[in-house]
Structure 1
Amino acid sequence: MWKSPGFVAVLVAVAAAFGSWSLLLPVVPLAVLNNGGSSALAGATTGIFMAATVITQIFTPAALRKIGYTPVMVFAAFMLGVPAIGYIFSMEPLPVLLVSALRGIGFGALTVAESALIAELVPVRFLGKASGMLGVFIGLSQMLFLPTGLALGDHFGYNVVYILGAVIALVAAVMCMRIPRIKAAAKVAPTVEASSVASEKLEKSVSTWKLVLIPSLAVTSLSMTFGAVSSFLPAAVIELDPGLGAALAGIILSITGGSSMVFRYLSGVITDRRGVPGSTMIPAQIAGLLGVVLIAVTIFESWSVWWLIIGAVMFGGGFGMVQNEALLSMFFRLPRTRVSEASAIWNIAFDAGTGIGSFALGIVAASLAYSGAFGAGALVILLGIVLTVADRILGRYRVTEYNNTRARLRGVRKSTD
């Protein structure tokens, strides 16, 4: 895995880019609230960011084929952080939402490119660990910069955070220039070899959405709640314990990211050993559900703020494993030549959920307080579990496309028999 050309450069570049993102993620909504903005507007800053992200992700696979990974990632890193300087000049609704949308363009291109590039650079047998290691670097970046942004904003003002976010994004752009200059594989029509027809029942191609729908919804169900966690958990912690909460607000977000990092990598290791993804998906969703329920009950009952740490560990761990399981499931079900589409779909599911969750659950928070928002998030995760269980039952009858990872593994087993 480590000998794959450009793998380390990708990890460092992505860590820096997510550092810029993590610095600003909880700071911008909090700055809006501190400047007299509503909870709905605070959530909308993340919502519009993710809306621009999703729109960009739709077009990114075509850009990766036409101009290559390196130019796309350099542009993405620049756009992710540098426009944040615009927050210095105004925190009124229109300027704030415009700057957030510009940054979302960079985030959308980056997230699709980095996941797909890992699948392009690393051999299939190491893909689970490689994807997990990508999560480790992202998680470490979040652990470091999520609390750093809040601490710097509290002690030196938010303008320092905006400038630092722009500088770190430029570092990521420079690192992206060290990535091998390759382009995403062109689309090819699925082919059927006579030997495979003779050796097993004919499998017909089916629509992509049928193969990736349930993994996408699994990610979305938890990322919606993550949108509420990233946007409102710091404010909820401070409201729950004004003294201790100010110190713990950033730390709890850091713990969420750290738990996600560890368990995402663990999920990748398990997948590589089993040779097939999915074994930890449902337990991970259940852990995420229990974590959110604990957060909601703690806030509603005004329990000790320390219970939120346990909830953050459970939610972050479950969320990390679901991320890896869903991405590897898409790589597993789709042809190797379509890894950029798989990455785009996964990222759209992740980021659309985060944006919708921030906006929709922000409205819920305005009406039912923060505990109501997290309770609504728990219901969404529960629905995702139901859908995953149904998919698991029906999966044994699923018809998949040719030339995907599942088909190739079958061919290897048959050739060795």
Structure 2
Amino acid sequence: MVQTGLSRAEIEQLDSMWKAPGFVPTLVAVFAAFGSWSLLLPVIPLAALDAGHGPALAGASTGIFMAATVATQIFTPTALRRLGYNPVMVASAFMLGVPALGHLLGLEVWNLLLFSALRGIGFGALTVAESALIAELVPSRFLGKASGMLGVFIGVSQMICLPLGLFLADRAGYPAVYAAAAAVALVAAVMCLRIPRIKAQPPTRPSPEEKATSAPAWKLVLVPALAVTSLSMSFGAVSSFLPAAVQELDPVTGAVIGGFMLSITGGAAMVMRYGSGVIADRNGRPGATMIPGQVMGFAGVALMALVIANGWPVWWLVLAGVLFGGGFGIVQNEALLSMFFRLPRSRVSEASAVWNISYDAGTGLGSFLLGAVAAQAAYSGAYAVGAVVVSLGILATIADRVVGAHRITELDNTRARLRQLPLGRKRRRNG
């Protein structure tokens, strides 16, 4: 049964994010959708290699997936305004999983790339829609916690389904994984039917006075986007090379730890992303944990470079993974909330698109560029360069804090709306 949405005034009166119509179905749908994606993420390249293709084509299957993802994310805000969240998310969940069945026809080049691209279209639309939808469904004062909970559902899904896909491939064969991914995505599509039938708001046009006193939208989202990109580039190297680096450093202990490193990093990101959201809600605005999160991420990737370069005990890489993952989780949430708070309510879908493009493009770019560095200067060199990139993101955030102290951005954004709530005024008087 499709739920009808509440008005914005009614939503703001809710005393819990869990009472927001459509919030729980959205979380379940996102859990299933990311489960479908995670099942196939490590399996498709492995299947390509087993089919006799070279590493270049195996990598291209992921590359074309991400290219289709980013291209789709650019156009998703327009689709959300014209069609609404419900139909876009149902269609995207369907596109994310069902094309996996096309691989049952074989793994020729055309088949491998075509169905990977189709799945990327579904993933791109879904990632933008789910982040923006959270801002539409829950009260503004719970947005940080709600965004953090979204990260928890995504993180748990990945921690379960990434190893599960490899397990099923080993025990039941690749066709079983394709069928499982399609089935899980259909669960997501069914849950999306319970999302309220609402559309993204059309963009508002500021008055001449507002244009004169407000910064352009791209300036408001640029630095949060750079913060995400700087860390997601390092994440591209971490996800691609860290398990191998662990095993290379210590073939005995590393063989055990290496397989869990991505889960350790992802678990830290999940916990710290939620914690960052709680702090943002208590403060009534994001930003308090952004620089600490970036510093944590820098410390983690720099420690990875030092451990690998100096041959330190492999357990130091576990600490590095926790630091990097925790910092990355904080920056993810802070950047998304900052974009929501800085832009008008009518542009939350654009904020979600910019955030997702920054994340996905950074991950792909990092895998490519830092992989090239690793080929020339080993894994330690790749992580050292990653640390430098993160440090540039920190400097950009500090500069933005200085400039932002004099910036006016009161155009129906979340910060302005919170000031209109009795709760927000009470907090300021008590502060």
TM value normalised by structure 1: 0.89
Amino acid at match of 1:266: G
The yes-or-no answer on 1:129 pairing with 2:145 is yes
2:348 corresponds to which of 310, 335, 339? 339
Q: Taking structure 1 as reference, are residues 104 and 95 closer, same or farther at Cα in structure 2, changes over 3 Å only?
A: same
2:283 corresponds to which of 268, 274, 280? 274
Superposed CA offset, 1:314-338 (max 9, x none): 1111111101100110111111111
1:23 corresponds to which of 30, 36, 39? 39
Decide whether the 8 Å contact of 1:74 with 1:174 is kept in 2: yes
Residue in 2 aligned with 1:169?
A: 185
Q: 1-side partners of 2:71 and 2:211: how far apart?
A: 37
Amino-acid identity (%): 68
Decide whether the 8 Å contact of 1:77 with 1:110 is kept in 2: yes
For residue 363 of structure 1, report the CA deviation from its aligned partner: 2.8
Superposed CA offset, 1:258-314 (max 9, x none): 111110110001001111111100110111111112223333444443332222211
The yes-or-no answer on 1:186 pairing with 2:202 is yes
The count of residues paired between Structure 1 and Structure 2 equals: 410
Q: Show structure 1 runs of 5+ residues with no match.
A: none
Between 23-32 and 164-173, the greater mean CA deviation after superposition: 23-32
The yes-or-no answer on 1:350 pairing with 2:346 is no
For residue 248 of structure 1, report the CA deviation from its aligned partner: 3.4
1:395 corresponds to which of 401, 404, 415? 404
Amino acid at match of 1:115: S
For residue 86 of structure 1, report the CA deviation from its aligned partner: 4.3
Superposed CA offset, 1:191-230 (max 9, x none): 59xxxx9xxx996233210110000010111111222222
Decide whether the 8 Å contact of 2:140 with 2:418 is kept in 1: no
For residue 401 of structure 1, report the CA deviation from its aligned partner: 4.8
Q: 2-side partners of 1:365 and 1:98: how far apart?
A: 30
Residue in 1 aligned with 2:385?
A: 376
Decide whether the 8 Å contact of 1:39 with 1:363 is kept in 2: no
Q: Taking structure 1 as reference, are residues 48 and 376 closer, same or farther at Cα in structure 2, changes over 3 Å only?
A: farther
Q: 1-side partners of 2:56 and 2:401: how far apart?
A: 37
Amino acid at match of 2:288: S
Residue in 1 aligned with 2:81?
A: 65
Q: Taking structure 1 as reference, are residues 358 and 166 closer, same or farther at Cα in structure 2, changes over 3 Å only?
A: farther
Q: Taking structure 1 as reference, are residues 232 and 322 closer, same or farther at Cα in structure 2, changes over 3 Å only?
A: same
Amino acid at match of 1:216: A
Residue in 2 aligned with 1:298?
A: 307
Residue in 1 aligned with 2:325?
A: 316
Between 5-14 and 145-154, the greater mean CA deviation after superposition: 145-154
Between 79-88 and 220-229, the greater mean CA deviation after superposition: 79-88
For residue 12 of structure 1, report the CA deviation from its aligned partner: 0.4
Q: 2-side partners of 1:132 and 1:353: how far apart?
A: 21
Superposed CA offset, 1:112-131 (max 9, x none): 10011111110111111111
For residue 31 of structure 1, report the CA deviation from its aligned partner: 5.0
Q: 2-side partners of 1:94 and 1:400: how far apart?
A: 48
Residue in 1 aligned with 2:14?
A: none
Decide whether the 8 Å contact of 2:215 with 2:407 is kept in 1: no
Q: 2-side partners of 1:241 and 1:90: how far apart?
A: 38
1:84 corresponds to which of 100, 104, 110? 100
Decide whether the 8 Å contact of 2:141 with 2:418 is kept in 1: no
Q: 1-side partners of 2:118 and 2:328: how far apart?
A: 27
Q: 2-side partners of 1:149 and 1:212: how far apart?
A: 36
Residue in 2 aligned with 1:365?
A: 374
Higher RCO (CA 8 Å, separation ≥ 6 residues): 1
For residue 346 of structure 1, report the CA deviation from its aligned partner: 1.0
Query: What is the SS of the residue equivalent to 1:2?
Result: helix
Between 279-288 and 350-359, the greater mean CA deviation after superposition: 350-359
Q: 1-side partners of 2:225 and 2:366: how far apart?
A: 15
RMSD: 2.7
The yes-or-no answer on 1:217 pairing with 2:233 is no
For residue 345 of structure 1, report the CA deviation from its aligned partner: 1.1
For residue 75 of structure 1, report the CA deviation from its aligned partner: 1.4
Between 23-32 and 251-260, the greater mean CA deviation after superposition: 23-32
Residue in 1 aligned with 2:127?
A: 111
Between 203-212 and 2-11, the greater mean CA deviation after superposition: 203-212
Q: 1-side partners of 2:20 and 2:37: how far apart?
A: 27
Q: Taking structure 1 as reference, are residues 227 and 93 closer, same or farther at Cα in structure 2, changes over 3 Å only?
A: farther
For residue 14 of structure 1, report the CA deviation from its aligned partner: 0.2
Decide whether the 8 Å contact of 1:87 with 1:162 is kept in 2: yes
For residue 174 of structure 1, report the CA deviation from its aligned partner: 1.5
TM value normalised by structure 2: 0.86
For residue 158 of structure 1, report the CA deviation from its aligned partner: 4.3
Q: 1-side partners of 2:100 and 2:142: how far apart?
A: 36
Between 337-346 and 9-18, the greater mean CA deviation after superposition: 337-346
For residue 89 of structure 1, report the CA deviation from its aligned partner: 5.4
2:28 corresponds to which of 1, 8, 12? 12
2:298 corresponds to which of 289, 303, 312? 289
Q: 2-side partners of 1:415 and 1:125: how far apart?
A: 12
Decide whether the 8 Å contact of 2:214 with 2:407 is kept in 1: no
